[in-house]
Each structure stands twice: as structure tokens, then as C-alpha cells.
């Protein structure tokens, strides 16, 4: 199932051409996943997951420019891979209401839980893995 988040680009997210700047798009993708991976994890009683998640890999592909116009972007996020020490999220960014617009941006992030005390990646705990499976199943 797809988790759907809505993020609103800011005026400062634009580049000189009026399109959302690449670095700002990466930030908007991060903002789209925060409610589930951080707020949702805390609500589920998982205190370690929101303390440390690092991006291991990031790919972004632009299908169409996104112009800042005051409207929210709709970001569909799917869990595409769940491993012992990482998980992969795929994103589809739309500029309009569901069903009315093509995909403007696709992206993928490989994320890993991170131990902020030992300063190294760690394995997902069984409750964290279940939370991720459930979070996208309930979307």
C-alpha cells in the first residue's frame, strides 16, 4: 500500500528558473516521510527508530519541472524492500489532486537505522520491522 503525504514547497525552494531546486526537492521528500517514520514510530512506542535514521543511497529522477505556486505536492511513498539493517522507500511526486496529474518526480532512498551512541548503523529490531510493514500496509 502507498503512504501519502502532502508537503508545501516554499518560495525559497525555487531556483533561478522558477522550478524547485534539486536540494530543496530532497528536503521535501524528507518532510514527506517524517510523519510516518518519526511521529508514527513515537506513537507506536518505538523510541530508537526516530533517534537515528540515515540515508544510505538517494536517487531522484525528474519527469517534469515543479513550479512553486502555493499548492501542496502529493507524495506517494511505498516500502519496496525491507532488510535486516536497511529499508528502501520509493516516492512519486505529483503537483495536483489524485488522479489528475502525471508523476513529476520519482525518487528512491535506502535508509538505515543508526545508533547515535555507538555512532554506527544497526539492525532493525523486530518491532521496528513490523512497524514499517504495518505502516505501509495501513496506508
pLDDT tens, residue order, the chain (139 aa)? 789 999 999 888 888 888 898 999 999 999 999 998 888 899 999 988 888 999 999 999 999 988 888 788 999 999 999 999 999 999 999 987 666 778 999 999 999 999 999 999 999 999 999 999 987 776 4
At residue 25, the 3 state secondary structure works out as: helix
DSSP assignment of 67-121 equals: B--SPPEEEEEEEEEE-SS-EEEEEEEESSSTTSS---EEEEEEEEEEETTTTEE
Quote the number of domains for the chain.
Answer: 1
**C-alpha cell recorded at residue 26:** 530532497
CATH number, domain of 76, equals: 3.10.129.10
Q: Which residues of 119-133 are buried (b: 16+ CB within 10 A; e: fewer)?
A: eeebebeeebeebbe
Q: What is the pTM of this model?
A: 0.90
The β-bridge relationship of strands 120-121 and 73-82 is unpaired
Quote the domain boundaries for residue 7: 3-137
Query: Cβ contacts of residue 122 below 8 Å, gap of 6+?
Result: 85, 112, 113, 114, 115
Amino acid at each position: 500500500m502507498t503512504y501519502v503525504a502532502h508537503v508545501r514547497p516554499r518560495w525559497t525552494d525555487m531556483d533561478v528558473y522558477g522550478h524547485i531546486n534539486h536540494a530543496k526537492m530532497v528536503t521535501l521528500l524528507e518532510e514527506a516521510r517524517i510523519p510516518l517514520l518519526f511521529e508514527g514510530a513515537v506513537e507506536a512506542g518505538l523510541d530508537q527508530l526516530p533517534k537515528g535514521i540515515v540515508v544510505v543511497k538517494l536517487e531522484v529522477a525528474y519527469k517534469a519541472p515543479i513550479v512553486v505556486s502555493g499548492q501542496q505536492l502529493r507524495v506517494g511513498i511505498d516500502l519496496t524492500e525491507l532488510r535486516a539493517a536497511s529499508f528502501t522507500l520509493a516516492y512519486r511526486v505529483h503537483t495536483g489532486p489524485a488522479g489528475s496529474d502525471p508523476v513529476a518526480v520519482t525518487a528512491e532512498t535506502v535508509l538505515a537505522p543508526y545508533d547515535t551512541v555507538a555512532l554506527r548503523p544497526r539492525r532493525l529490531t523486530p518491532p521496528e520491522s513490523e512497524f514499517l510493514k504495518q505502516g505501509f500496509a495501513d496506508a
